[in-house]
Amino acid sequence: MSETLKLNNTTGSKVVIAGKDFVLDKTASTTAGDKKLVFKYSVQIGDSIATDLILTIQQAILR
Q: What is the pLDDT of residue 26?
A: 83
Q: What is the pLDDT of residue 38?
A: 87
Measured CA to CA, the distance from residue 12 to residue 21 in angstroms comes to: 10
Q: What is the pLDDT of residue 54?
A: 66
Sign of the CA dihedral running 54, 59, 62, 63: positive
**Tens digit of each residue's pLDDT, the chain (63 residues):** 566 666 677 777 888 877 888 898 888 888 887 778 888 888 888 888 766 666 666 655 554
